[in-house]
Amino acid sequence: MQIEAGQKAPVFELFDTEKNKVSLLDQKGKNVVLLFFPLAFTSVCTAELCSVRDNITAYNNANAQVFGISVDSVFTLDKFKKEQQLNFPLLSDFNKQASKSYNVLYDIFPALEMQGVSKRAAFVIDKEGIVRYAEVCATPGEQPDFDAIRQTLATLN
């Protein structure tokens, strides 16, 4: 089922690059931006996450916690985060729990015919755990509409 604005956000627990368990329930009281991305070290994913890195002040000013989520291992994500100097947490959905909950899992990833890769998608969740913005990109080469994400965050404060 497609996740849409107005729905309760599916909860999850995933490990970050520091091997800490992160729960969406623990974020209550903050706005949250979830950015699902296919694979670390790929060109579009790198550009997307570096764009967020370079504009993190806008998210911080909106009282928003950004999380990048992919099916890569915590070890791969740790190396990626360090190399790109990302200033927000990356979460490993290695078991595909969150990607399935948010219905953003490719049956077959188009570029390399891999199974079980996350689609590029963005969700804004308000302080009460309600989805206020939902976007699943049509192709892995497309990036989320960051202007729409920031506009949504502006309405939540």
β-bridge partners, 109: 114
Q: Is 50 a catalytic residue?
A: no
Instruction: CATH number of the domain at 109, please.
Output: 3.40.30.10
For residue 134, tell me if it sits in a domain: yes
For residue 101, tell me if it sits in a domain: yes
Question: pLDDT class for 1, splitting at 50, 70, 90?
Answer: confident
For residue 5, tell me if it sits in a domain: no
pLDDT of the residue at 102: 98
For residue 2, tell me if it sits in a domain: no
**Does position 113 have pLDDT exceeding 90, yes or no?**
no
Domain that includes residue 114, residue range = 13-155
Q: Is pTM, for the whole model, over 0.75? A: yes
For residue 71, tell me if it sits in a domain: yes
**Which whole number is the average pLDDT over 120-129?**
97
Average pLDDT of the chain?
Answer: 95
DSSP 12-77: -EEEETTS-EEEGGGGTTSEEEEEE-S-TT-HHHHHHHHHHHHTHHHHHHTTEEEEEEESS-HHHH
* Token duo for residue 61: 């000013």
pLDDT tens string 43-78: 999 999 999 999 999 999 999 999 999 999 999 999
For residue 123, tell me if it sits in a domain: yes
State the catalytic residue, choosing from 22, 32, 45, 122.
45
Question: What residue type is 88 in one-letter code?
Answer: F
For residue 6, tell me if it sits in a domain: no
pLDDT of the residue at 77: 98
**Count of domains for the chain:** 1
**Does position 112 have pLDDT exceeding 80, yes or no?**
no
pLDDT of the residue at 108: 84
For residue 36, tell me if it sits in a domain: yes
